[in-house]
Structure 1
Amino acid sequence: MSPTTAPAHAERAGRRIEEVLDRLSGTADPAAVAAAEELVRSLMEFYGAGLARILELLSAPEDRPRVEALFGDGLVASLLLLHDLHPEDLTARIGRALHGIDGAGRGGAGRGGRGVLDVLGFDEATGTLRLRAVSGCGCGCAAGAPDLRRAAEDALSCFAPEVTAVEVRTEPSPEEPALLQIGTRPGAGA
C-alpha cells in the first residue's frame, strides 16, 4: 500500500468496522453485540499501547525529525488522535493541517496560487473554525474560497477532528491596488 492510498484505505476500514457493528446491533443477540464491541475496544487498547510505545522509543532529540514526519502524516495523526496520544495542541494541529493548503502557513502566513489563509478563531461550542483568505487575483474576488474551504475541511479531518465546520472570509490582498471603478462622467451619455 502506497503512502497516498493509506489514508483512503484506513477510512474505508473504519467505515467497514462501523457497518459491521451496526449490522450486529440489528441482530437479536445482545451477547454477540457486546462481544463484538469488547473485541473492538480490546484491539483499540492493544494498538494504542503499541503507538504509545513507538512514540516513547522515538523521544530522543536525534529522532525529532522522524517524529515531526509522523505528526505530519494524516493517517498517523488520525491514529494518534483516536488513541488520545497526539502531543500537539489543537492550535498546532490546525496550523499543521493548513500548512499544506495552497501555501498557507502555520501562523497563517503563506502564498499560493489562490491566496493566504489566516486563522481568525475557533468556536469550541460549535466546532467552527473561521479563516480569512486574502485573494491574490488582483480584483478582490472570492473565486477560490469554496475550494479553500473544502481543502481546509479535508486536511483538518485528519489533524483536528474537533473542527466540524470551516468558514472562509475572503479579502483583497493589502499589497494589491484597490479596484478602480470606471464609469461615465456626470452628464455624459444623457
Structure 2
Amino acid sequence: MTAPVAAPDAELTGRRVEELLDRLIEHGDAATAATAEELVRVLMDFYGAGLARIMHLVERRTGADGPRAALLGDALVSSLLVLHDLHPEDAAARIDRALASVRSQDAVEVAEFAPEIGELRLTESGSGGCGCGGAVDRPAVEGALSCFAPEVTSVAWETRRAAPELPLLQISRRPPTAAPVS
C-alpha cells in the first residue's frame, strides 16, 4: 500500500503562478510573456474540461450522496471546481463548508458577506461556553476560506463577548429557627 501523496496548497500554488507570470512580464520580452499567459489559459481550459467531466459522471451515477459529497468536501478539489466555475454550491454554502472544516459549529458565525467587495465579517464567540476562552485558529479559518470560497478576499473579525454569569439564586424554605417576617 502506497502512502497518499501530499496535495499542493491551492493558495500557495496560485501565488507562485502569479509570481512566475509577473517575473516573465518584468524580465522577458512581450512575446514570451504573452505565450506564457496563453499557456496558463490553455492548461486551465484543459483541466476545467476534465473537472467538468468528473462532476458530470459523479452526479449521473451517484446522485447527491457518495463520491460527490467527498469531492465537494475536499479543499483541493473544491478549489479547482471554484477556479473553473464548476462548483455546484453557492458562495454562502462554501463559506459554511470552509468554517465547518476548521472549527466547531458554535465558535464562529458569519455576520455578513459582501460579495461585491469580497469582504466577510465573522463573529467569534468570546468564550467556548465553558469559561475556557475557546480561541479560534484565525489563519486556519482564512486558509480554508481561500480554498473553499476564494471570492472572500478579506475577513473582518468581530468578537462577541459572552454574557456575564448571573449569581446563583438559591430558593429554599427558611430554616426552622428563623424569625417570621412581619
- TM tier, shorter chain? 0.7 to 0.9
CA distance in 2, matches of 1:72, 1:179: 44
Contact kept, 8 Å, 1:140 with 1:172, in 2: the verdict is: no
- Structure-2-length-normalised TM-score: 0.75
Structure 1 residues 140 and 167 mapped into 2: Cα distance closer, same or farther (>3 Å)? Answer: farther
Aligned: 1:149 with 2:150: no
Q: Which residue of 2 aligns with 1:81?
A: 82
Q: Residue type of the partner of 1:86? A: H
CA distance in 1, matches of 2:28, 2:157: 47
CA distance in 1, matches of 2:35, 2:60: 40
- Structure-1-length-normalised TM-score: 0.73
Give structure 2 stretches of 5+ with no counterpart.
169-182
Structure 1 residues 43 and 179 mapped into 2: Cα distance closer, same or farther (>3 Å)? Answer: farther
Q: Deviations over 1:68-125 (max 9, x none)?
A: 1111111111111111111100110011001122212xxxxx4xxxxx2221111224
Aligned length: 164
Matches within 5 A, 1:1-150: 2=4, 5-8=6-9, 10-27=10-27, 29-60=29-60, 62=62, 64-104=65-105, 110=106, 116-134=107-125, 135-136=127-128, 138=130, 144=135, 147-150=136-139
CA distance in 2, matches of 1:158, 1:47: 17
Structure 1 residues 84 and 33 mapped into 2: Cα distance closer, same or farther (>3 Å)? Answer: same
CA distance in 2, matches of 1:73, 1:81: 12
The percent identity for this pair of structures is 49
Contact kept, 8 Å, 2:11 with 2:146, in 1: the verdict is: no
CA distance in 2, matches of 1:102, 1:179: 31
* Larger gyration radius, structure 1 or structure 2: 2
Contact kept, 8 Å, 1:25 with 1:33, in 2: the verdict is: yes
Give structure 1 stretches of 5+ with no counterpart.
105-109, 111-115, 181-190
Q: Which one scores higher on RCO, CA 8 angstroms, separation ≥ 6?
A: 2
Contact kept, 8 Å, 2:11 with 2:147, in 1: the verdict is: no
Q: Over the residues paired in the alignment, what is the CA RMSD in angstroms?
A: 2.8
